Amino acid sequence: MSQHMAQTCSVEAMFNLAGKVALVTGGAVGMGRAAGLALAAASAKVVLADDPGRIGVLGGLPPQVLATALDVTSEEAVNELVSGISEREGGIDILVCGAIINHNKALTEISAAEWDQVQAVNLKGAFLTAKAVIPQMLRRGGGRIVMISTIGSVHPVLHGNSAYSASRAGLNQFTRALALDYAADHVTANAILPGAIHTETLPSCFRPTGPGADPARHIGGYGKPEDIAGLVLLLAGPAGRYITGQTIAVDGGFLVS
């Protein structure tokens, strides 16, 4: 094996993000925070952005991780944050869209305002963020986009999930469109479809019903945010350079059960 081949095939080289800048929305809790910390552990500079109420209590972060408030539904706020990161760091190489909201209600109970809010955070937020970040990536010769979706976007999982599932189905197709449009520019776009991942954003009183609520249908019960972070790291780094336009389930085997 040549020296060049040995270097590019080393584990360190495949997952080294030194010199890269990442923006993670929904980064204060759960899967977003786990993803951001994984990227930082691979030597990326990371900005965790989230709702002011969540980001304000986030502490104990590594020095290369910055936490900031962001309303992903505001184009002005998104553009201001992305411009600030660009001025400070020179651009953005990695975008992880993990902002999430879910009004888990039956169709006859969810209000039009609640439906619109779910679409605004889960789909419009990804659109606004990607629109602001992609020009930064093009100036830096490429980039990685990772969308956090759900297995409910491809298969009904829980009762009362119509608004959330619809928003994530749109996110999947938006991701594929980005992958097609920017492949020639070395920008990859993929969506991760988590299954039943236990995070602190789930209210203690939440009692889901439907096939996805059965822990026996998942390997080892419910998953953890770290189960998602590993795939984010793969897709965001050199090892994932040839993966794009994919929706990848991380669900403990639910979809095949």
Catalytic (active-site) positions: 164
d(C-alpha 72, C-alpha 218), whole Å: 32
Residues 6+ apart with CB under 8 A from 118: 101, 102, 103, 163, 164, 167
d(C-alpha 146, C-alpha 143), whole Å: 10
Which amino acid makes up residue 134?
A: I
Tokens of 28: 């204060």
Phi, psi (deg, nearest 5) at residue 210:
120, 170
- Total residues belonging to the chain: 257
Q: How many CA atoms lie within 13 A of 208 on its CB side?
A: 21
Q: Are 30 and 221 in contact (CB under 8 A)?
A: no
Tokens of 68: 């900031």
d(C-alpha 251, C-alpha 227), whole Å: 9
d(C-alpha 31, C-alpha 28), whole Å: 9
Tokens of 53: 């109420």
Give whole-number Cα distances, 217 to 73, 149, 160, 221, in Å: 35, 20, 20, 7
